Amino acid sequence: MKKLAVVLSRAEFGVAAPQVRVEVHISPGLPSLSIVGMPETAVKESKDRVRAAIMNSGFDFPAHRITVNLSPADIPKGGGRYDLPIAIGVLVASEQLNPDRLRRTEFVGELALGGELRGIRGILPVVSAVSEAGRRLVVPASNAGEAALVESCECFSAESLLQVCEWLAAEQELPLARPTETTNVKQNQRRLSQDLSEVKGQEQAKRALIIAAAGGHNLLFYGPPGTGKTMLASRLPGILPTLTEAQSLETAKVASISNSGFDPDCWGQPPFRSPHHTASAAALVGGGSQPMPGEISMAQNGVLFLDELPEFSRHVLEVLREPLESGKIIISRAARSAEFPARFQLLASLNPCPCGYLGDEERPCQCSIGQIQHYRTKISGPLLDRIDLQVEVPRVPHKVLRDTNNSGLTSQQARSLVMKARTRQLTRNGGLTNAQLQGRQIQELIPLSAPLLDFLEHVVERLRLSARAYHRIIKVSRTIADLKQCDEVNQSHLSEAVAYRGFDRADL
C-alpha cells in the first residue's frame, strides 16, 4: 500500500489564495483520521464528510490510521474547500487511484455525504492564482460560470467525487468550465434603468456629476430634502465607463469572497454600494474574527454612496480617511491580518442643517446656531477636504417640474462625454485618472501658468483651504479641461473648479 499522497489546493486569505499542500499519510494502527495544519472547525468536520463521500462513491475507506497535513501550517484553513483534495489524497494513498494525473492539477470543493460536489465561496481568487502558477484546476460545477471569467486558466468542472476519480483514472474527460447558459457574462449590455434626463432642472448638479464620473472625483450634494440629491446619485453608475478586464476581475474577487458572493451578470459594471446610516465601522471597512471585506472594498472600482452623511456616526466616517488616500484597507487581528483593496469613488449627500431647510424662504430654519454647528461638526475637516466637488442642490421651481419635455442630457450622451475625457487622461497620466494623481505627478502633468497660480493662491487664502484642497482644485480643473478637449488648463476651468467648493464657502 502506498503510504503518502500529496494533492494541491488553495486557501482563502483575503483576496489572495496561497497554495496549500494536502499531504495524506496512511500508517498501521487503530482506524482514525486526524487533520493537522491549523484547521478551523469546518475543516476538522470534513473527515466525516470525506468518509461518507468515499464510501457512497463506491470506494473503500482505509481501516488504518490516516493523518492529513495542510501545509503551510501557519496559515489558518477554513471552510469546506479542502474536502475534495483530502478525499483524493486518501484514495491515492490507499492505491485506489493513479497519481499520474495529479501533476499540475489543483482541486477545491466541498463534498456532500453522497459524494456530490458543492460550490465554495471565493473561487475567483483561487482561479486567478492557479492561472498565474501555470496549473490547471478542478472546481465544482456550480462554480463553473464564475471560474470561466478567468479565461487564461485551464479549469475543469465536476458534479461529484466519482466523476473526478473517473477523470483521474482516464476513463472519461471533465468538461471545461463555461459561462452559464442563461447569460453570456462577458457580453452583458450595460443596464441603464435610470436615465439622467429624468432629473428636472439641477443643471449645475448634473454638470458636477459628469465631472466626477470623468475624473473619478469624490462628490458631495447638499441642499433641502426632496430636491433630487439621491435621484442624482442613483444616475452616476449609468454614466461611468465600463470596467476594464483587470478591474472587473479585481472587483469580482472581492465580491467572490464576501458573504453575498459574486453575480456573473454584474461583470464589467462598476459596483454601487449604499449602506444605511446605522452601519458600523466594521461593516463599512471590514472586520470580524476572520476578516471579511466591508462596504468600501465591495465598492472597489465603483461608487460608495453615503446618503444623509451627518446621520452616520463620526467615528464611522473617520475610518474612511485612510482608504480614501491609500486605496486599500488592512484589517489586523491578533491571529491574522488581511489586506483588501478599497479604491472607490465617494458620493455623499446631506441636508444643510438638522431640519433640512436652512436658507429656505418658504420654510425658514427652526434650528439654533448650536444645533447647526453640532450637526456640521459630525463631518470633520480632513474628511471634507477629501471631497473634491461640493455642490448645492437647491429647490426646483414647480414650473420646471411640470415640464414634460425631457430635453436634458441623457445618460448615454453624458457617458459619451465621460468616456472621451477619461480616454484623454488615462493616456496622458499613464493609466491613472486625474483623481488618482499625487504629489509630483500633479506638478508634472497639470502645469499651471504664473497668473493661474496667483489666482489659486488668492482663492485658497480667501476660503482658508488646506493644501489637500488646493491640489484637489487643480485636479478637478484638469478634468474640466479634459471634458472640453483642451490640452491646457485655463482661467475658466480653474474658476469652475473653485465654484465646486460650495460647502467650504458656506461656513464663511
Output the CA angle 490-493-499, nearest 5 degrees: 140
pLDDT in tens, 332-355: 876 677 889 999 999 999 988 777
Look at residue 501 and tell me whether its pLDDT is greater than 50.
yes
Nearest-angstrom CA–CA distance, 297 and 275: 12
Output the CA angle 213-217-221, nearest 5 degrees: 85
Residue 44 in grid coordinates: 476538522
Nearest-angstrom CA–CA distance, 71 and 19: 9
Q: Give the domain 196-506 fold.
A: Rossmann fold (3.40.50)
Of the candidates 108, 80, 211, the one whose C-alpha atom is nearest the C-alpha of residue 164 is 108
Please tell me the predicted confidence (pLDDT) of residue 372.
77
Please tell me the predicted confidence (pLDDT) of residue 186.
41
Nearest-angstrom CA–CA distance, 286 and 157: 32
The domain segmentation of the chain, as residue ranges, is 4-168, 196-506
Nearest-angstrom CA–CA distance, 445 and 425: 10
Residue 237 in grid coordinates: 453608475
Of the candidates 311, 431, 432, 303, the one whose C-alpha atom is nearest the C-alpha of residue 378 is 311
pLDDT in tens, 256-289: 998 888 888 888 899 999 999 999 998 999 887 7
Confidence grade of residue 428 (pLDDT, cut at 50, 70, 90) = very high
Q: Which residues fall within 8 angstroms of residue 234, CB to CB, at 6 or more apart?
A: 194, 272
Please tell me the predicted confidence (pLDDT) of residue 188.
42
The residue type of 502 is G
Look at residue 99 and tell me whether its pLDDT is greater than 80.
yes
Burial readout 207-239 (b: 16 or more C-beta within 10 A, e: otherwise): bbbbbbbbbbbbbbbbbbeebbbbbbbbbbbbb
* Residue that wins the pLDDT comparison between 263 and 174: 174
Of the candidates 348, 358, 388, 403, the one whose C-alpha atom is nearest the C-alpha of residue 470 is 388
Confidence grade of residue 106 (pLDDT, cut at 50, 70, 90) = very high
329: β partners? 340
pLDDT in tens, 292-305: 899 999 999 999 99
Nearest-angstrom CA–CA distance, 153 and 134: 8
* Three-state SS annotation for 214-244: HHCCCEEEECCCCCCHHHHHHCHHHHCCCCC
Contact 424, 482 (CB under 8 A): yes
Nearest-angstrom CA–CA distance, 39 and 45: 10
Of the candidates 19, 78, 133, 9, the one whose C-alpha atom is nearest the C-alpha of residue 336 is 78
**pLDDT above 70 covers what percent of the chain?**
93
Half-sphere exposure of 421 (CA within 13 A, CB side): 28
Confidence grade of residue 190 (pLDDT, cut at 50, 70, 90) = very low
Say which DSSP state 410 is in.
-
Look at residue 79 and tell me whether its pLDDT is greater than 70.
yes
Please tell me the predicted confidence (pLDDT) of residue 358.
62
User: Before 72, cis peptide (omega within 30)?
Assistant: yes
Q: Which of 179-193, 275-289, 329-343, 362-376 has the lowest mean pLDDT?
A: 179-193
Residue 282 in grid coordinates: 466594521
Look at residue 72 and tell me whether its pLDDT is greater than 50.
yes
Half-sphere exposure of 379 (CA within 13 A, CB side): 25
Of the candidates 186, 187, 209, the one whose C-alpha atom is nearest the C-alpha of residue 413 is 209
Angstrom CA distances, 367 to 311, 359, 360, 372, 436, stand at 16, 11, 13, 7, 39
Kindly report the CATH number that applies to the domain delimited by 4-168: 3.30.230.10
Contact 86, 46 (CB under 8 A): yes
* Residue that wins the pLDDT comparison between 194 and 384: 384
Q: Mean pLDDT over all residues of the chain? A: 88
**Rounded average pLDDT over 227-234:** 92
Confidence grade of residue 508 (pLDDT, cut at 50, 70, 90) = very low
Nearest-angstrom CA–CA distance, 372 and 496: 28
The residue type of 17 is A
**Rounded average pLDDT over 11-37:** 91
Determine if the pTM surpasses 0.85.
yes
* Residue that wins the pLDDT comparison between 192 and 288: 288
**pLDDT above 90 covers what percent of the chain?**
62
Residue carrying the nine cell digits 483521474: 168
Please tell me the predicted confidence (pLDDT) of residue 183.
43
The strand pair at 219-222 and 117-118 is best described as: unpaired
